A and B are shown apart, each in its own frame.
Chain A
Amino acid sequence: MGESILELSYLISALLFVFGLKLLSHPETARRGNFYAGSGMVLAMFTTLLLHRDASGNGIALTNVWIILSALTIGSVIGWVVARRVKMTAMPQLVSFFNATGGAASALVALLEFPNADMGNYESVLVTILGLIIGSIAFSGSMIAYGKLDGKVKDITSGMMTYVNLFLLVTVVALSVYIMISGQTPEQLNWAIYLLLGISLFYGVMFVMPIGGADMPVVISLLNSFTGIAAAMAGFIYSNQAMILGGILVGAAGTILTLLMCKAMNRSLMNVIIGAFGANGAAAAN
């Protein structure tokens, strides 16, 4: 009974996400769309809290409910106050900051679920690792984007950076493959997973560092679609349809939005990411 209600509420949430996103793309209905998407989220949160059961059929214990509720309260109060108080001109960096927190949450969930991963099942390990990698890149990248828009981080460009980034990317892939095929237990692979976390975080920094300040909105949109994909990967860990659909939806919409934003600036995405060479590219765009 509870299980069915939970799944039904996930379906309603997913529909509210799609419908909300649809309304958000028209000027007259945008605010309503935002409200719908928000309602979908609140619904999914509370039905999960009340009705979720683990594999052995145990619900969420009362102590855990209180812990979760206090975390929800802390997050809501800070989020609400910051979002209400910030100056209008500082909004883009705030979006980037909130995207960073979403990425951090995805990375943390993947990191903490890794010990429970079924090492014999490649897909189970793969979605956990991907959630960790993509979530950490989204987190550190968004923090740098936030710092740049806020004037705290300067552009650093160097011809070497492309090679360093390529090297980091290869290392991430190699380490992931090693974790998947080594046949060791999650405890034995603890070092590898933390190393993977560290390299992914560093890659996020290096990825955004050389991109010019004027291109930041495009980069934030791209990192936003990363956060969506990371959330979807976590959705696969829990076989949670609302997370999978919401995450992939944001991943796809975010990617298209990124391309549309590039088009509005008369640039290609490749041009923004590698061809820009930081300040020069940004100046050319202006």
Chain B
Amino acid sequence: MEQILAYFFTYKEAIFIIALSIFVGIEVISHVPSVLHTPLMSGANAISGVIIIGGIILVGHADTSTLSLELILGFFAVIFATLNVVGGFVVTDRMLEMFKKKKK
């Protein structure tokens, strides 16, 4: 018991963020109409591209004096994450554009 409490105390900030983000994530989209399922999925997919920050940090502090595995694979990680972000938001925008036209 004491160990569990100590664990909670050490990671309290992370646990707070997780608990509140889950709640917000559920609450924010729980009343979405079914026509918006696909655009919302696509938009959420683009947000999951936040991994790009990780890619930038990784490559940002990689040693550039030699062509290491870290640098090469990190470079690809940034490209992949950018594809996710840019492609994701542009595709969502196109879907919603189509949606608007249909409505009129």
Indicate whether A and B interact: yes
A interface residue numbers (CB < 8 A to B): 17-18, 20-22, 24-27, 30-31, 33-35, 37-38, 41, 44-45, 48-49, 52, 54, 58, 60-61, 63-65, 67-68, 71-72, 74-76, 78-80, 82-84, 86, 88, 91-92, 94-95, 97-99, 101-102, 104-106, 108-109, 111-113, 123, 217, 220-221, 224-225, 227-228, 230-232, 234-238, 240-254, 256-257, 260-261, 264
Tell me the residues in window 24-76 of chain B with beta carbons closer than 8 Å to chain A beta carbons: 24-26, 28-62, 64, 69-71, 73-76
CB distance from A215 to the nearest CB of B (A): 14
Residue in chain A with minimal CB distance to B94: A83
CB distance from A16 to the nearest CB of B (A): 10
CB distance from B101 to the nearest CB of A (A): 11
Residue in chain A with minimal CB distance to B90: A83
Range class of the B interface residue count: 35 or more
A97 to B40, CA, bound (A): 16
CB distance from A80 to the nearest CB of B (A): 6
25 pairs, A vs B, C-beta closer than 8 Å: A27-B103, A35-B93, A41-B49, A58-B61, A60-B56, A67-B75, A71-B75, A71-B76, A91-B94, A95-B41, A95-B91, A102-B84, A105-B77, A109-B55, A109-B74, A111-B73, A123-B11, A227-B48, A231-B49, A238-B57, A242-B50, A246-B48, A249-B21, A254-B48, A264-B37
Which of A101, A231, A242, A253 has the largest number of chain B CB atoms within 10 A? A253
- One digit per residue, 1 when the CB lies within 8 angstroms of any chain A CB and 0 when it does not, for chain B 79-100 equals 1111111111111111111111
Q: Is the CB of A221 within 8 A of B41?
A: yes
Closest 7 CB pairs of A and B: A75-B82, A252-B25, A79-B86, A79-B87, A102-B84, A60-B60, A248-B21
A231 to B47, CA, bound (A): 10
CB distance from A240 to the nearest CB of B (A): 6
Does more than half of chain B's interface fall in helix, strand or loop, or is it mixed?
Answer: helix
CB neighbours of A94 from chain B (8 A)? 87, 91
Given A34-B92, A75-B86, A245-B17: 15 more A-B contacts, CB < 8 Å: A21-B44, A27-B33, A34-B46, A45-B52, A49-B56, A71-B82, A75-B81, A91-B91, A95-B91, A105-B51, A105-B52, A105-B81, A105-B84, A221-B41, A253-B44
Q: Is the CB of A252 within 8 A of B21?
A: yes
Q: Is the CB of A217 within 8 A of B25?
A: no
CB neighbours of A58 from chain B (8 A)? 61
A257 to B91, CA, bound (A): 18
A100 to B29, CA, bound (A): 23
| Given known contacts A256-B30, A257-B32, A264-B34, A105 and B47 CB-to-CB distance under 8 angstroms | no
Which of A68, A220, A227, A261 has the largest number of chain B CB atoms within 10 A? A68
Q: Is the CB of A34 within 8 A of B93?
A: yes
B14 at the interface (CB under 8 A from A): yes
CB neighbours of B25 from chain A (8 A)? 21, 248-254, 256
Q: Is the CB of B53 within 8 A of A76?
A: no
